[in-house]
Amino acid sequence: MMCGGCVARVRSILAADPLVEMAAVNLLGESAAVRLRAPAPPGAGEELAAWLTECGFPATTCRGGAAAGAGESARKWREMAARKQELLLRSRDRVAFALPKSGPDMLELERSRELTQPSASHPTPCQGTQK
């Protein structure tokens, strides 16, 4: 298989067979995972491989390897998704804690506010005369 057209052709050849329940074709791996409808007659996989070979796509069968590989891939994908979610949550916390500015500049700003804004315990001359 050399392109997406080859993938589509292999998928359509497999899907046209009444015994095929599901077919997933992988261009990079040059492979296809096929699920047959139950009850599949003995040798059905070999017949499909022979038919693909006749159509110009050399094929052989591999029992259980693709299914086992698919399960392993699914497990790795779930682990990766969980790891990404954990990293996302951690990075969100880092950003939230990085937003407030602290240090000497903030202390000076607070002191300047205290000096410029009158408080109830120290009224300005105008505040003392109002009733």
Predicted pLDDT at 88: 83
- Report the pLDDT value the prediction gives residue 87, as an integer from 0 to 100: 86
- In tens, the pLDDT along 67-112 reads 556 667 778 888 988 999 888 887 776 655 555 555 556 666 666 6
Mean pLDDT of the chain: 75
The pLDDT tens digits of the residues spanning 47-64 come to: 888 988 998 888 888 866
Q: What is the pTM of this model?
A: 0.46
Output the pLDDT for position 37: 84
Greatest mean pLDDT among 16-25, 98-107, 113-122: 16-25
Nearest Cα neighbor of 67 from 36, 113, 40 is 36
What percentage of the chain reaches a pLDDT higher than 70? 62
